[in-house]
Homo-oligomer: A and B are copies of this chain.
């Protein structure tokens, strides 16, 4: 069964956004122009734009036009960082230490990441939430998709803003798998907590505008002071 026409229009526009032909913040052609260029009805172009807006790739400004979304520190944190204080408020994370190394990809990383990379950058960051909670985070990305990343250390606080600005890679969705663990000796020392204290561990796979997996991230934090907030619809 062929894709509905509006999906073909969507894919074309996503391709242009992903390739950088339509960079973040740039204005999209009008429905009429898209219709004429791609040979579809204006209603089909409109349906494609409504879907792209629902997916967060573009946004409309009444009377001005339609624009490619830009990750800002604020919306990236709001959308992709679901760890909060028990009352639901955000403790903005600050960097304590960072180490980036290049290494061979593990089998699971090669199998999951787009392009089946042989080499990856492993970005290990220790961050502080509020005044006292430490938060451990390790991101793994392909070296070929993020050339020179190691020389950019220390990286900006919000990696996804950096990925978009420096590599035109726009993270649009992520899957997270959560579990509870007891702190082993290494993690107890890293987070400054007691051996055997309860921890939350989040394993994330992040996807770009073409829905390719571009980052694997493991996050660990003490369960005592923070919670994970999810919305089901």
Q: Which residues of A contact B (CB under 8 A)?
A: 50, 54-56, 79-80, 82, 86, 88, 172-182, 196, 198-200, 223, 227-233
Contact = CB atoms under 8 A, between A and B. Distances in A.
Please give the count of copies of this chain that the complex contains: 2
Of residues A55, A56, A80, A233, which shows the largest number of chain B Cβ atoms within 10 Å of its Cβ? Answer: A233
Given A174-B232, A179-B227, A180-B181, 15 more contacts: A173-B232, A174-B231, A175-B230, A176-B229, A176-B230, A177-B227, A177-B230, A178-B227, A178-B229, A178-B230, A179-B200, A180-B180, A180-B198, A182-B198, A228-B230
A57 to B, nearest CB: 11
Nearest to A177: B227
For the residues of A in contact with B, the DSSP-based class is strand
A223 B179 contact: yes
A44 to B, nearest CB: 14
Given A182-B198, A198-B180, A198-B181, A173 B228 contact: no
5 contacts: A82-B232, A173-B232, A178-B229, A181-B198, A182-B198
A200 B173 contact: no
A182 to B, nearest CB: 5
A198 to B, nearest CB: 4
A223 B180 contact: yes
Contact of A178 (B54, B55, B175, B178): B178
Contacts of A233: 55-56, 79, 172-173
